[in-house]
């Protein structure tokens, strides 16, 4: 019998969906806005990329609006150009944050002196921020705080806050476990969305998961227990579900048609500026 004032124990959550996504070249698309993004929103897009030094990945200038992206490098090092054409780099543990807001163009040629692996996450923005000015910055590995086996990339966990404030109620972690290590994720209260994507090794989260797989957990704010069956690394997201529809453009996600139209108009304006500057064909 539960005593008055005691908190009700949280129910453990099992896996309800899993995927390896679709692979194209060095990129595995695990989530997109038109499929699992509807289930996991505000997390609407997730790519796992693996770049070899002999096959650099090139992404031409392209637009976004209504979303923010977080690129997290989990292995290796990458050198590329930022959205202004200036040189930039990431080392393992570092992140690039880009809030497209009301519209932005970006693109790069990614190169590495060795192999590099990481994730690019899209987050749907709430009203107000989906039309805000764009911003971009880079964080070094030491800028992303660590609690236990987890590096806090976005939001906060167990009182440890990321340098990047969450734009809505969400947490995004990169977790590294040794073989045989057990770790329990206790989500912040009311976070009813949760998922994990493995980039190395293997683990058990009620079911076996291997590198390259993404698992969606049952709705609710219950805990999730992970046990590494071999040394492993994975990213994990949890959030209060985005309460807005996903209104999609070719490169954009908004909460309503009027905001999407505004973002697409801004994208066209920026495109004309880039053409005048000779940066866009």
Q: Which pLDDT does position 60 carry in this prediction?
A: 66
Residues linked to residue 171 through DSSP beta bridges, in sequence order: 155, 238
Q: Which pLDDT does position 7 carry in this prediction?
A: 44
Q: Which pLDDT does position 6 carry in this prediction?
A: 43
Q: Which pLDDT does position 76 carry in this prediction?
A: 85
Q: Which pLDDT does position 78 carry in this prediction?
A: 77
Q: What is the CATH number of domain 15-276?
A: 2.60.120.10
If DSSP codes are grouped into helix, strand and coil, which group holds residue 13? coil
Q: Which pLDDT does position 278 carry in this prediction?
A: 84
Per-residue three-class SS string for 73-116: EEECEEEEECCCCCEEEEECCCEEEEECCCCEEEEEEEECCCCE
* pTM to 2 decimal places: 0.90
Q: Which pLDDT does position 115 carry in this prediction?
A: 79
Segments of the chain scoring below 50 in pLDDT? 1-9
Helix (H) or strand (E) holding 275: helix 257-276
């Amino acid at each position: 019998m539960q005593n008055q004032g005691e908190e009700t124990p949280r129910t453990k959550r099992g896996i309800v969906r899993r995927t390896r996504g679709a692979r194209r070249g060095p990129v595995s698309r695990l989530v997109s806005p038109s499929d699992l993004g509807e289930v996991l929103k505000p997390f609407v897009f997730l790519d796992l990329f693996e770049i070899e030094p002999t096959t650099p990945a090139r992404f031409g200038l392209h637009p976004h609006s209504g979303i923010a992206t977080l690129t997290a490098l989990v292995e290796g090092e990458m050198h590329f150009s930022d959205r202004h054409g200036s040189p930039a780099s990431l080392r393992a543990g570092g992140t690039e944050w880009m809030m497209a807001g009301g519209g932005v163009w970006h693109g790069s040629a990614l190169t590495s002196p060795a192999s590099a692996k990481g994730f690019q996450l899209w987050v749907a923005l709430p009203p107000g921020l989906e039309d805000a000015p764009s911003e971009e910055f880079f964080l070094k590995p030491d800028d992303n705080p660590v609690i236990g086996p987890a590096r806090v990339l976005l939001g906060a966990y167990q009182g440890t806050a990321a340098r990047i404030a969450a734009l809505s109620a969400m947490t995004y972690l990169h977790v590294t476990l040794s073989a045989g290590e057990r770790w329990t994720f206790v989500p912040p209260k009311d976070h009813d969305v949760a998922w994990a994507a493995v980039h190395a090794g293997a683990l058990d989260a009620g079911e076996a998961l291997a590198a390259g797989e993404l698992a969606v957990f049952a709705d609710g704010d219950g805990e999730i227990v992970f046990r590494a069956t071999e040394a492993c690394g994975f990213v994990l997201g949890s959030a209060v579900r985005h309460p807005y529809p996903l209104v999609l453009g070719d490169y954009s996600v908004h909460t309503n048609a009027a905001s999407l139209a505004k973002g697409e108009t801004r994208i066209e304006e920026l495109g004309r500026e880039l053409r005048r500057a000779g940066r866009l064909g």
